Chains A and B, each alone.
Chain A
Amino acid sequence: MNTPFRAHGHGHVDRDTTLSFTFDGITHTGHPGDTLASALLANGVHRVAGSIKYGRPRGVLAAGAEEPNALVQIEAPFPEPMLTATTVELYDGLVARGLSGQGRLSSRPDPARYDTMHAHCDLLVVGAGPAGLATTLAAARAGARVILIDELPRPGGSLLGGQELLDGAPATVWADGVVAELDAHADVQVLRRTTAFGHYDDGLVLALEKRTDHLGATAPAHISRQRVWRIRAKQVVYATGAYERPVAFDNNDRPGIMLAGSARTYLNRFGVLPGRRAVVFTTNDSAYPAALELADAGIRIAAVIDAREEVPEHWRAACHERGIGIRAGHVVTGTSGVERVTRAHVAAFGRGRLGERQGIGCDLLLVSGGWNPAVALFSQARGALRYDTGIGAFVPAHALDGVRTAGSASGTFTLAGALADGVDAARRALSAIGRTCRTTALPSPAPLPDAAPAHVLWRVPSPQDDQDGAKQFVDLQRDALVSDVLRATGAGLRSVEHVKRYTTIGTAHDQGRTSGVMTSGIVAEALGVDVADLGTTRSRPPALPVAFAALAGRNRGELFDPIRVTALHPWHVEHGARFEDVGQWKRPWYYPRADETMDEAVLRECRAARTGVAMMDGSTLGKINVQGPDAGVLLDRLYTNMMSTLKVGRIRYGVMCGVDGMAIDDGTVIRVAEREFLLTTTTGNAAKVLAWMEEWLQTEWPDLRVHLTSVTEHWVTIPLVGPRSRDVLALVAPGLDVGKDAFPFMSWRDATVAGVAARVCRISFSGELAYEINVPAWDGITVWKALHTAGGAFGITPYGTETMHVLRAEKAYPIIGQDTDGTVTPQDLGMSWVVSKKKPDFVGKRSFTRAENRRGDRKQLVGLLPADERVLLPEGAQIIATSEIPAPPVPMLGHITSSYRSDALRRTFALALVRSGTQRIGETLYVPLDGRTVPVTVTEPVLFDKEGTRRDG
C-alpha cells in the first residue's frame, strides 16, 4: 500500500512488508523499520497531541530521543504511557494515541518479563555512529574486551539519516561492514536497541535494552521484554552524538515545525517527506544538506532563511542550482496556522532590530539553531563542561580518568573528524589501562568545503511585544516560555539550576535535550553575563525514562525479598497454619480449627499450653556457636551477666546492651563444652547480634581466641510446653531421665528423641514446665511428628507466635524490639537481676551509672489492666494521666508495647513503658481511644504465677 508522503528510492524501511496500526482511532499503515512518528508523517499526520498547559496542537519536532512533543500512550497490545512516537518502533497491531503530558498506567498486571544483566569489559562504547564505530573497531582490533551499545535497531547513528559517502560508497555500507566485523569478534558485544541511562561510580553504566518491544503482540513470552544492563567498564567512551536545537520565535510550537536535521533523517532513514513546501530557518551550515536533499527528493524549498549576513558561496551555488532562494541576515519571527503551520513570517534582523515582515506560505518549517553535543552521561560522570563560543554549546572540558567523549559529543561535527576522533578515543582509553592500540585505517568521506562559522542565536525578538499573546516556547513539553525564563530572572534567580526548578524547563521526559542550552543562552542574555560563566545544569540519572518494571527485573513478587522457611514449614501449611512475617521468616502465627477466629484459636492454644501440652516451631531463633579458649571471656564482656562461670550442661539467660546501656538483645546461653557455648538470639536479630559480636571481637579484642559461627539453620528447635510436656517427652525419649531433680530447670541433656540424636534444654518462655528439643534440621520433621503423635493422648496442640507472645507477656518476659525501642535499659525492664555486680566491666555497664540512666522518672515496663476487661488496647497507644484529654500539647506518660487477651487471666491485659512506672503501681491512668479515654490500672508486670510455681510441673 502506498502512503502519500513516502519518497521513492529513500530510506531503510522494508517497503515489501506492510504493518497496520491505529493512532487516535484511525487506522494507518507503515513498514518495518518505521518509528510510530515516521509512519504518522508518512500518512500526513502531523498533529500528535495537545500541549500540557495551553492545549496547543503539537506535532513531531525531532526524530529521536530528544523529541519534546510527540508523547503517546500505547493502548495495545499492552498499555504503556509516556513514550515518544519518535522512539517507538512500529509493529503490526499497534494502537496508540497522543498524550497531553500525562499518561495512564495499566490497571492490569504487566504480563511481560523483565531482567537484569551484568557485564564487565575493558571498554564500553556508547553510540554506534561514525565515532563510536571507529572507537569500537580500533579497540576490537587491539584485542580489548569491548561492549558497544546503541539505541537504534541498526547501527550507524547519524549515517542512517544522511547521504554521506565513505570511500565512494554510502556510509551505511561501511557501518554494516564494521558491525559484521565486530559481531565476529569473540570479545566484542554489540547491543542494539540499548540506551545508556546512568553513569555511576567506578565505571558502572546502566543501560536499558528493549528486546521485544518492537514485536508487539508477537513477542515470545519466554524472552524478557526489557532488561537493564549493569556494565562495569574500565574505560567508557561516550560517542553519543549531538542534538540539534531550535531557535525561539513567536509561535514556534506549531505542528509542521521541525528540526532541520530531523527532517533529513525522516527522508534518508525512513523515506518520508515531512511536507510539500518548506521554509528552512538556520543559523549555521548544517541545514543546507537538509534543504538540498529534501529539494532533490521533491519537497519545494520556498526559501532558506539564514540568520548570518554571509552565506558560504558553495551553499549559495547549490541552492541556486535548485532554484532555492536564500535570505541572508534574515530570521523567522513567527508563524501562522493552528493545526499545522501555514506561513512563516520572515524579517531582516541586524543589530537587534527587525525589518519589515513578510509571510512565506509553507506546510513545513525547518529550524536549525546549531547542535548541542550529547554530554548528559559525561556530565553525570562528573565531567566538567566548557562553553564553546564557536558552536554555542557546552562540550567536555577535558577527559576524565576513565571517561571520555568522541565525535559530535566532543563538538567534532565533521564525518572525517568524528572517525579520527573515535580512533583517538580508543587509543587513549586503552593506553589508560596499559594496552596499546595500533592505527586503524579509516575510510575517506567526500571532501567538504570548509565550514563557515555559525551564528549563535537563542531567540528572535517578538515583533508584537506580546500584544497578540504570541508565545515563544523554550521547553515544548513543559509549555515553558521565554517569558517564564525572564520572569525567573526578574524574580532574582541567577543560577540556571534555580531557573530550571522555577520554570520546570528540562524536567520532562526529554530532560531538556532541545531546551537546556537555549535556556542558558536566554538567561545569560537577560542577566548580561557570559554563557560560559553561567554554565548549564548538571545532568543526573536516569537520562531517559525507565519503567520501574525494568529496574525491578526479576526482583518482584516472591523474588522481591528472600523468604525463609523452617524445615517444618510443609507440616504447618498442611495443618492450616496462618503465617506471620518475622524478618524474612514465615512463622506459624496460629493454627485455626474449622471456622475458628484468630482470637478463639489463640485462646485455645494458650489454654492447651497452660493446662495440657502444646508445641511450637522455634527453629527461627538465631543460634550462634562460640568456640575457643577465650569464649567465656568474650561472653562476659558482651552479656550483662556472668557467662564464664556457667557449668557444662547448664543454661543461663542473658541480656546484651549497647555501650549506651540500652538492651539490644536477649536469649539463652548454653555451655556445650569447656571451650564451646551456643547462644540464641531473637529471631529478627540473629544477623545483627552476630555482627555485633564480630565487631567487638575483631576491632576491640582481636587478641581473644574465639570463633563465631551462625548455626541458625542447622537446628530445628521445638519448644514442648505445658504441665503434660514431661509425659510426652518421656514417651519419645525413653532413655532420658526426665525427673525434676535428674533434669533440673536451666540445664540441658544430650538424648535420643524419637530415634534421633537431640539436645534437650529445660528452659521456658511461658512459665510452664517446658523443654526445648533441638535436632539437626534434616531430622526435624521426624521428631516433630513423633512428638505430635505421642502427645495425642494428652491433646497436644501446635501453637504459633501469637500464643507464644501471650504466654510470655503474662509472665512479663519482654520481647527486645517490641517492648523496647533502643532507649530501654535492663533496669527499666525490671531486670536488675540480670546485671552482674561482680564483673568489673562489660559493654554497657559504665552507662548504667550515667545520671540520665538513673533518673527515677525514666520509662519503665509495667503491666496495665483495662478497667473494662473486654477492652483490647491497641499496641502503640499513648498513656495519659487524666480522664479528659487536655489541650495540646498533651503530656504523654508512655505507650502500650504489648496487648493481648488472656485465657489464664480471663481478661485483656497489656505491657507498657510508663514514665516512673514502678512508682505508679496501683494508680489509674488513661489511654485515649476512639475519642474517649479508657481507664487502666498500673500493675507489676508479671500477671500470672508470680511465684513461679509452675515451671517444674
Chain B
Amino acid sequence: MQLIACPWCGEREENEFHYGGQAHVAYPQDPYALDDEQWAEYVFFRDNTKGPFAERWVHAAGCRRWFNALRDTVTHEFLAVYDVRAKHPPTTSAAPAAPRRKDQEASR
C-alpha cells in the first residue's frame, strides 16, 4: 500500500486515490476543426510511457481535489505532485531529463 502525497492533505494511502490518466491532454480548442482521426486521437489515445510520466490523480476518498503528479511508471515512485492547472511538470532532480522532454512533447 503505497503512500501518495496529496498536495492538500499530505501523505495518504493509495486506496484513497483514483487515477485520472495522462496529464496535460487539454480539451481541444476547437473540436470541430479536427477531423475524425484527430478527434479520436484526443478521445481514445494516450501515451504508455515507461519511466517518468505526468499523470492526473484525484484524492477521491479525501478532499476530492484533483492534482497532477510526475510518477515513474517503472518504480511507481512519485517524483513530484503539482497544480492541476500547470502547463507542464515541474523540474525535479529525480526525473531524468530525456524522458521528461519526451513527455512534454507527447502532451498536446
Whether B65 is near chain A, meaning CB under 8 Å from some CB there, is yes
User: Once the chains are docked, how many angstroms separate the CA of A694 from the CA of B71?
Assistant: 23
Does any Cβ of A come within 8 Å of B79's Cβ? no
A695 within 8 Å of B (CB atoms):
yes
The interface residues of chain A lying within 8 Å CB-to-CB of B65 are 698
A702 in the interface (beta carbon within 8 A): yes
Chain B residues, Cβ within 8 Å of A660: 43-44
Pairwise interchain contact A202-B31, C-beta atoms closer than 8 A: no
Contact A204 B1 (CB under 8 A): yes
Q: Which of B1-23 touch A at CB < 8 Å?
A: 1-3, 14, 18, 20
Which B residue sits closest to A200, measured CB to CB? B1
For the complex formed, measure the closest distance between the CB of A847 and the CB atoms of chain B, giving whole angstroms: 7
Neighbouring A residues of B39 by C-beta, 8 Å = 846-847, 850
Residue-wise, chain A 823-865 has the 8 Å CB interface mask toward B (1 for contact) of 0000000000000000001000111001100000000000000
Residues of the B chain whose Cβ atoms lie less than 8 Å from the Cβ of A694: 58, 64, 66
Alpha-carbon separation in the docked complex, A204 to B11 (Å): 13
Q: How far is the CB of B60 from chain A (nearest CB, A)?
A: 7
A695 surroundings in chain B (CB, below 8 A): 20, 58, 66
Interface residues as binary, A687-730 with B (CB distance below 8 Å gives 1, 0 otherwise): 00001001100111010000000000000000000000000000
A201 within 8 A of B: yes
Q: Is A318 interfacial (CB-CB < 8 Å)? A: no
| Residues of A with C-beta under 8 A to B3 | 201-202
Query: How far apart are the CA atoms of A569 and B89 in the complex, in Å?
Result: 50
Contact B1 A202 (CB under 8 A): yes
Would B43 and A847 count as touching, CB distance under 8 A?
A: yes
Closest to A661 in B: B43
The residues in A between 516 and 572 inclusive whose CB is less than 8 angstroms from any CB of B are none
Instruction: Decide: A699 near B66, CB < 8 A? Known: A201-B2, A201-B3.
Output: yes
Q: Please report which residues of chain A, range 171-207, place their CB below 8 angstroms from some CB of chain B when the two chains form the complex.
A: 200-202, 204
Distance (Å) between the CB of A910 and the closest chain B CB?
32
Residues of B within 8 A of A850 (CB): 36, 39-40
Whether A698 contacts B66 by the Cβ 8 Å rule is: yes
Instruction: Say if the beta carbon of A659 comes within 8 Å of chain B.
Output: yes
Instruction: Encode B32-61 as 1/0 by CB contact (under 8 A) with A.
Output: 101010011011100000000000101010
Bound CA span A646–B39, Å: 31
CA separation between A850 and B36, bound complex, in Å? 6
Nearest chain B residue, comparing its CB with the CB of A660: B43
Q: Tell me the complex Cα distance, A202–B14, Å.
A: 11
Please tell me if B84 contacts chain A, counting CB pairs below 8 Å: yes
A659 contacts across to B, CB distance below 8 A: 42-43
Question: Judging by beta carbons under 8 Å apart, are B84 and A698 in contact?
Answer: yes
A846 to B35, CA, bound (A): 10
Please report whether the interface of chain A is mostly helix, strand, loop or mixed according to DSSP.
helix
Interface size class for chain A? 20 to 34
Q: Which residues of chain B have C-beta atoms less than 8 A from A691's C-beta?
A: 18, 58, 60, 64
A700 smallest CB distance to B (angstroms): 5
What's the Cα separation between A691 and B19 when bound, in Å? Answer: 12
Q: How far is the CA of A851 from the CA of B35 in the complex (A)?
A: 10
For the complex, what is the distance from the CA of A944 to the CA of B38, rounded to whole Å? Answer: 44
- Give Cα A162 to B57, complex, Å: 54
Are A202 and B64 in contact, CB atoms less than 8 angstroms apart? no
**Given the complex of chains A and B, what is the CA–CA distance between A660 and B44 in angstroms?**
8
Is B76 an interface residue when CB atoms closer than 8 A count as contact?
yes
Q: In the docked arrangement, what's the CA distance between A698 and B20, Å?
A: 12
Whole-angstrom distance between the Cβ of B53 and the nearest chain A Cβ = 17
Q: Are the CB atoms of A699 and B84 closer together than 8 Å?
A: yes
How many angstroms between the C-alpha atoms of A851 and B40 in the bound complex?
11
Q: How far is the CB of B44 from chain A (nearest CB, A)?
A: 7
Cα–Cα distance between A13 and B43 once the two chains are bound (Å): 70
Given A201-B76, A204-B1, is A841 in contact with B66 using a C-beta cutoff of 8 Å?
no
Contact A702 B1 (CB under 8 A): no
Output the residue of B14, B26, B43, B58 with the most chain A CB within 10 A: B43
- A841 and B76 form a contact (CB under 8 A): no
Shortest CB distance A832–B (Å): 19
Please determine whether A700 and B27 come into contact, CB atoms closer than 8 angstroms.
yes
A845–B58 Cα distance when bound, in Å, is 26
Known: A691-B58, A695-B20. A851 touches B36 (CB 8 A): yes
The complex places the Cα of A659 from the Cα of B44 at a distance, in Å, of 9
A446 to B64, CA, bound (A): 62
Check B84–A201 contact: CB distance below 8 A. no
Chain A contacts of B20 at CB under 8 A? 695, 699
By beta carbon, the residue of chain B nearest A691 is B60
Interface string of A199-228 (1 = CB under 8 A from B): 011101000000000000000000000000
Contacts of B18 in A (CB 8 A): 691
Closest beta carbon of chain A to B57's beta carbon, Å: 11
Q: Mark B86-105, 1 if CB is under 8 A from A, else 0.
A: 00000000000000000000
CB distance from B70 to the nearest CB of A (A): 16
Tell me, in angstroms, the Cα distance from A853 to B76 when the chains sit together.
38
Pair B31/A846 contact, Cβ less than 8 Å: yes
Q: Smallest Cβ distance from B69 to chain A, in angstroms?
A: 13
A695 and B40 CA atoms in complex are apart in Å by 20
A702 to B1, CA, bound (A): 31
Cβ of B68 to closest chain A Cβ, rounded Å:
9
Q: How far is the CB of A74 from chain B (nearest CB, A)?
A: 32
Measured CB to CB, the closest approach of chain B to A197, in angstroms, equals 14
Nearest-neighbor residue (CB-CB) of B39 within chain A: A846
Minimum CB–CB distance from A446 to chain B (whole Å) comes to 45
Q: Which residues of A contact B85 (CB under 8 A)?
A: 702
Give residues 660-698 of A contacting B (CB, 8 Å). Answer: 660, 691, 694-695, 698
A847 vs B2: C-alpha distance in the bound complex, in angstroms?
37
- Give chain B nearest CB distance to A688 CB in angstroms: 11
For B42, give the chain A residue with the smallest CB separation: A659
Tell me the bound Cα distance from A89 to B89 in angstroms: 56
Distance of A700 Cα from B44 Cα, bound (Å) = 17
Nearest to B65 among chain A residues (CB) is A698
Q: Which of B44, B66, B76 has the most CB of A within 10 A?
A: B66
Please give the distance in Å from B92's CB to the nearest CB on chain A: 17
With A230-B1, A659-B42, A699-B84 known, 5 other A-B pairs at CB within 8 A are A201-B14, A695-B58, A845-B31, A846-B34, A850-B36
User: Can you report 18 A-B residue pairs in the complex whose CB atoms are below 8 A from each other?
Assistant: A201-B1, A201-B3, A201-B14, A201-B76, A202-B3, A691-B18, A695-B58, A698-B66, A699-B56, A699-B84, A700-B26, A702-B85, A845-B31, A846-B32, A847-B39, A850-B39, A850-B40, A851-B36
Instruction: Report which A residues bind B (CB closer than 8 A).
Output: 200-202, 204, 230, 659-660, 691, 694-695, 698-700, 702, 841, 845-847, 850-851
Q: Which 3 A-B pairs have the closest CB atoms?
A: A846-B31, A201-B2, A698-B66
